[in-house]
Amino acid sequence: MNKRNTQIVLFLSVFVDILCGTIVVPLIPFYGQEFGASAATITLIFSIQSLMALLTSAFWGSLSDRFGRRPLLLFSLFATSSSCLWFGFLPGLWALFVCMGLIGAFSGSAQVATAYVADTTTPEKRTQAIGNLQAAFGVGMIAGPLLGGILVGIGSTNPNFSLPCMAAALIGFSALIFAFFVLPESLPKERRMTEQSSENQAQSQSILGSLGLGETLQNPLTRVLLVGVFFAVFAVSCVQPTLGIWASEELNWGPQHVSYLYAYWGVVGVLIQVTVLGLLTKRFGEINLFVWGLFIYSAGLALIPFSRSLIWLLPPITLGCLGFSLARVVLFSLLSQSASARRQGQIQSIAGLSMSLAGISAPMLSGYVYNAWGSSWPFWIGPIFLVVSMILIMPVINRSRLSLARTKRRDRTFSQLFRMLDYDRNGAIEIQDFEQIVTNLAELRNWSASSSEYKTIYSFWMGLGETLQAAVDTDGDGKISEMEWLDYMGKGLDIDFAEAFSKLLDTDQDGQICVSELMTFYQLYKADTSLAEQQFAIFDTNRDGYISSEEIRETFKHFMYGETLDTQKSFLLGI
């Protein structure tokens, strides 16, 4: 396998998908007007595209599991390129609906390419490979409307819809030929049958979990953040279908001007993400950046209808793109932090569903308000909903562990736990730390290596160490740095540390912890044993003379998410 050629093919497959989609989107309003379509009818075309993308998205992954990645990538390149080529020669309005439905239905190359990357890369190299696919997405977002604007021609009286589509199709078919000769299959036949049932079962469970909401949506923070995702996409999806119609009526623009405007939005978005986003996040924090991003985004969209020339239009477009880029990235980061690490896939699936529903419903509403209330309302309806969503979201964020003050307290607590697990104090959590904890505990309790107590504690704590290494050591160097630790812990607790420390404290494994066992724990960490009895009284909330696993769990909860520093420090005082 030539890895370089494979990377090029995967890049091209995503690039062609985005290129063909973005080259035609600015042209749709003008194409529809040539067929005599109203604003409501034109915006419905956008809804059809999003609807077909949603309905077929569930099948791309399962089909590639069954038939292999290579056939699905080749088919996606062929189908997308053919649909784009047909767009340039449509005979009527019905064909415009069908064509955009097909473009939406065939836009599954990113899913298959991501699966291909998962098949062929190690975990430590996977992030870079996924980053290449994201780069293809960004390049396509710019190249599509830019190429379309150049080739569609100047003016609005006689646009050339065929030439941009022919150019995009030529690129797509060239990529198809290249892929046909150089792209190997990443999923052998012997693995497809064994993996198909489990993958399909997991996918069905994911779909059922999304429809049934389940435990993931029991968290109020997750729910309101998903509302934010919906309305953030809803606002831009109200503007996108009517922008060309509004520009044609108010500014006397043709498809070329609108295409260049889309390309400008893409350039600004990419520049923000690769230059200032990280700096702004560090400077202001995610919560502040999220609030200001939504505010700037809303203001930019609301100001667009007041523009009467390009000079006046560029500032609100820039503001809208800036705010959208900031709010969207931070919103998904907060959404990720609101759920535990093992629910990340499910939360991303639900977020994708929320975005798809916004992409379906927003164009229909924007077309209606454009005809019923006036040409400015599609630009205002989104900001109105965004303001409402901010009112709903901010109180919940302020009450959650993601608020700025609580985040700082949480990081201090996680750092304290990191230092407890970093037993040799070398600045990293390693397997040796867990071995040393068990060895020293055995010496304190006079256990032999063959005793059942030693074997139980050793098996549990070494298992915990291996689980943490697999989940938290993202760079694969065998060490968990404090930065890796804080990043993982900030996404939610999958590791049951309460149970882990209960087992470490309860040395005779009778389900109850007495004062002597707590004192042994203090000796293990070379802490002041005179504090053990005082701390024991804090743990023993029901005053029965023992600390149960439930009392440890409740104390640990206060330790991790306590409202005050005193509450946090009450756990294992002095260690």
Closest alpha carbon to 321 in 141, 454, 517: 141
Token pair for residue 57? 């998205």
Q: Which residues contact 254 (CB under 8 A, 6 or more apart)?
A: 30, 152, 153, 154, 155, 156, 157, 159, 248
**Residue numbers of the domain that contains 325:** 213-401
Shared domain for 190 and 53, answered yes or no, is yes
CATH number assigned to the domain comprising residue 415: 1.10.238.10
Shared domain for 164 and 302, answered yes or no, is no
- How far does CA 57 lie from the centroid of its chain? 16
Shared domain for 87 and 146, answered yes or no, is yes
Helical residues (DSSP H) of 217-309, grouped into ranges = 220-250, 255-271, 277-284, 286-303
Q: For residues 269-307, b (16+ Cβ closer than 10 Å) or e, as one string?
A: bbebbeeebeebbeebebbebbbbbbbbbbebbbbbbeb
Shared domain for 13 and 110, answered yes or no, is yes
Token pair for residue 205? 């469970």
Please report whether residue 574 resides in a domain.
no
pTM value surpassing 0.85: no
DSSP-based three-state secondary structure for 429: strand
C-alpha–C-alpha distance, residues 281 and 162, integer Å: 44
Closest alpha carbon to 43 in 315, 368, 321, 307: 368
DSSP-based three-state secondary structure for 328: helix
Token pair for residue 104? 């939406």
C-alpha–C-alpha distance, residues 397 and 409, integer Å: 15
Please report whether residue 335 resides in a domain.
yes
Look at phi and psi of residue 492 and say left if phi exceeds 0, alpha if psi is from -120 to 50, else beta: left
Please report whether residue 575 resides in a domain.
no
Closest alpha carbon to 80 in 178, 175, 184, 8: 175
C-alpha–C-alpha distance, residues 22 and 145, integer Å: 6
pLDDT number for residue 568: 41
pLDDT number for residue 403: 56
Look at phi and psi of residue 427 and say left if phi exceeds 0, alpha if psi is from -120 to 50, else beta: left
pLDDT number for residue 389: 85
Shared domain for 191 and 221, answered yes or no, is no
Per-residue pLDDT of the chain (575 residues; tens, 9 = 90+): 577 888 899 999 999 999 999 999 999 999 999 999 999 999 999 999 999 988 887 788 778 878 888 899 999 999 999 999 999 999 999 999 999 999 999 988 888 888 888 777 765 566 677 778 888 888 999 999 999 999 998 765 688 999 999 999 999 999 999 999 998 888 776 655 444 444 444 444 444 444 445 556 677 778 888 888 899 999 999 999 999 999 999 999 999 999 999 999 999 988 887 788 778 877 777 777 888 888 999 999 999 999 999 999 999 999 999 999 888 877 877 776 666 545 555 676 787 888 889 999 999 999 999 999 999 999 999 999 999 888 888 887 776 655 555 566 667 777 877 888 888 889 999 999 888 888 888 888 788 888 887 887 788 778 878 878 877 887 778 889 888 887 777 655 445 566 666 777 777 777 788 888 888 877 777 777 777 777 788 778 888 888 887 777 777 666 655 544 444 444 444 44
Q: What is the 3-state secondary structure (H, E, C) of 502-550?
A: HHHHCCCCCCEECHHHHHHHHHHCCCCHHHHHHHHHHHCCCCCCCEEHH
Which residue, of 401, 421, 448, is where some domain finishes? 401
Q: What are the respective helix, strand and coil percentages of the chain, to the nearest 5?
A: 80, 0, 20
Q: What is the 3-state secondary structure (H, E, C) of 435-496?
A: HHHHHHHHHHHCCCCCCHHHHHHHHHHHHHHHHHHHHHCCCCCCCECHHHHHHHHCCCCCCC
Which residue, of 165, 192, 210, is where some domain finishes? 210
Question: In this structure, are residues 19 and 126 in contact, taking their beta carbons and an 8 Å threshold?
Answer: no
Please report whether residue 315 resides in a domain.
yes
Cα separation values, 282 from 278, 309, 533, Å: 6, 36, 43
C-alpha–C-alpha distance, residues 160 and 537, integer Å: 81
Shared domain for 450 and 370, answered yes or no, is no
What pairs with residue 547 in β-bridges?
A: 513
Token pair for residue 268? 């600004």
Shared domain for 11 and 160, answered yes or no, is yes
Provide the residue type at 249 as one letter: E
CATH number assigned to the domain comprising residue 71: 1.20.1250.20
Shared domain for 168 and 283, answered yes or no, is no
Place of tokens 């991790």: 560
Shared domain for 145 and 242, answered yes or no, is no
Token pair for residue 299? 């203001």
Please report whether residue 46 resides in a domain.
yes
Shared domain for 68 and 45, answered yes or no, is yes
Question: What's phi and psi for 491, nearest 5 deg?
Answer: -95, 0
C-alpha–C-alpha distance, residues 79 and 73, integer Å: 10
pLDDT number for residue 412: 74
pLDDT number for residue 117: 82
Shared domain for 12 and 143, answered yes or no, is yes
Q: What is the CA radius of gyration of the chain?
A: 28
Number of structural domains found in the chain: 3
DSSP-based three-state secondary structure for 480: strand
Please report whether residue 98 resides in a domain.
yes
Place of tokens 């279908």: 241
Please report whether residue 299 resides in a domain.
yes
Which residue, of 210, 237, 252, is where some domain finishes? 210
Provide the residue type at 210 as one letter: S
Q: For residues 501-513, b (16+ Cβ closer than 10 Å) or e, as one string?
A: bbbbbbbeeeeeb
Shared domain for 365 and 488, answered yes or no, is no
pLDDT number for residue 377: 95
